[in-house]
Amino acid sequence: MENQQLEKRYGLFTAICMVVGAVIGSGVFFKAQDILNYTGGNMLLGITAWIIGGTVMILCVLTFANMAANCVKVNGVVDYAQMAVGERFAYGLGWYLSCIYYPTLTAVLSWVSAKYTLIVFGVKDASGGLCMTLAGLYMCLAFAVNTLSPVIAGKVQVSTTVIKLIPLVFMATIGTVLGLINGNTAEAFVSGMNENASFESVFAAVTAASFAYEGWILATAINAELKNANRNLPIALSIGAVIIISVYIAYFIGLVGDASVEVLRAEGAAAAFRNIFGKVGGNILNSFIAISCLGTLNGNMLACTRGFYSLAVRGEGPAPKIFSRIDRITKMPVNSAVIALFISSLWLFFFYGAKLSDRNFLGVFAFDSSELPVISIYGFYIPIFIVFALKNDKKHIFKNKVMPVLAAVSSLFMVFAAFYAHGVVPFKQAAEKGEFSFPALFYLIFFAVIMSIGYLLRGGIKPVHNLFKKQL
């Protein structure tokens, strides 16, 4: 191995597929059910949640696209943070992405991919040993593909992106046409109007939608490997965001074409596919969903494997000389990839203990690792957007001033919505029973501990060892 730069291997189409493929995956399939449950079956509020989540995404995407046109280094979003706020803040964001954000998404997607694979074969146990074993196998497979052959990983991303759009487009078009003919769509919208939804339910629905929209930032992880990145990355981010929002809303409307809202709330999207395409057709489309989730897992692992490398090439983090090495054959940061697989495995174990196991052995720290990291990632975005707006001159006021401010306000809303939905609401519900529950608070405690360890290791392991040696 040797220290060197990653080679330029990806084009515009791959970048667009990276954006679309990293976002569209498991979330749109199983979060649609959550959104309907949160809003009491109110379709209009459900669509509003999708629109709010999409609006936040597009504002952030366009602002980062503006930054991408002027900054090409190692890891897009970390580079933007360094350019806007400074090296110390950028390191914190890079550490968070490497230890929490990337691996939590990778872990959840490994499980969802396994879950939908087993559904195809008639196995519905989503928390059993078979499902968790398959999840671990999928995670290792994604690691192997991205580490041993990044070119193949790029091709996998392109092919799975095309495949995953098939069930969504089918449901959006056929479901909507059927719904307009048989009157189910109109009935779904009218019946939901009778349900009263509180601010709590709307915030919870938006937070659920945010998980389905998460992942677009992963495309910036291949910044240094993208051909003509100054031009191609902004285009990929913008086009990808428009495709995602359009597909999500059309799909959500198509679901009620031949399945009632009550059935969807109870059984999820599988009921809609089964009703429209029959048992065999529904099962085939479930296969497409499984492939879709695997494609999203591949995109997350692609970014995850580069996490510690992006810190190491800056001379930061534990053992930067080790994690900055590039394998001469694969042209990949293998050491960075190995630590990414290890951390992702720990998060898979955590997700099992927090959300799937009946034995709550994590206690008060059993928070939702698929949604609560939203608090931190959007919290990191806020100072980037604000400082970027303050630093830029008055030319192109809308692009350099208005857009970053709107993105900062939207990010603040997402932080508040996630904290309220996963903190204040559970606290109120537990208080009524004489209990205590505040998942968001314990997530933030966990976040603070991980970040403290990260800053302690910013200069490497050896300085920390010397510090403790002096104290002893």
Q: Per DSSP, what are the bridge partners of residue 2?
A: 326
Alpha helices for 39-126 (secondary structure H): 43-68, 76-84, 87-96, 102-120
Query: Average model confidence (pLDDT) for the chain?
Result: 82
What is the pLDDT at residue 468? 40
The one-letter amino acid code at 176 reads: T
Contact present, 21 and 161 (Cβ < 8 Å): yes
pLDDT, tens digit, for every residue of 48-87? 889 988 888 888 888 887 776 666 555 568 888 888 899 9
**CA distance linking residue 295 with residue 137, whole number of Å:** 15
**CA distance linking residue 184 with residue 237, whole number of Å:** 35
| 166 backbone φψ class: left, alpha, beta (φ>0; ψ -120 to 50) | alpha
Per-domain residue ranges for the chain? 2-366
Judge whether residue 152 has pLDDT over 80: no
**CA distance linking residue 234 with residue 295, whole number of Å:** 22
Judge whether residue 464 has pLDDT over 50: no
- Chain-centroid distance of CA 21 in Å reads 11
What is the pLDDT averaged over residues 228-243?
A: 79
What is the pLDDT at residue 407? 92
Q: Find the range with the poorest average confidence among 43-47, 146-150, 423-427, 447-451.
A: 146-150
**CA distance linking residue 140 with residue 137, whole number of Å:** 5
Indicate the DSSP class of residue 226: B
Contact present, 451 and 92 (Cβ < 8 Å): yes
Burial of 5 from C-beta contacts in 10 A (0-12 / 13-18 / 19+): exposed
CATH fold of 2-366: Amino acid/polyamine transporter I (1.20.1740)
**Which residues fall within 8 angstroms of residue 315, CB to CB, at 6 or more apart?**
none
**Which residues fall within 8 angstroms of residue 463, CB to CB, at 6 or more apart?**
none
Contact present, 283 and 295 (Cβ < 8 Å): no
What is the pLDDT at residue 442? 92
What is the pLDDT averaged over residues 382-386?
A: 93
**CA distance linking residue 434 with residue 160, whole number of Å:** 48
In this prediction, what percent of the chain has a pLDDT beyond 70? 86
Residue of higher predicted confidence among 335 and 125: 335
What is residue 231's three-state secondary structure? Answer: helix
Q: Find the range with the poorest average confidence among 226-235, 300-309, 334-343.
A: 226-235
pLDDT, tens digit, for every residue of 185-225? 888 888 766 556 667 778 888 888 887 887 777 666 665 66
What is the token pair recorded at 135? 């999840």
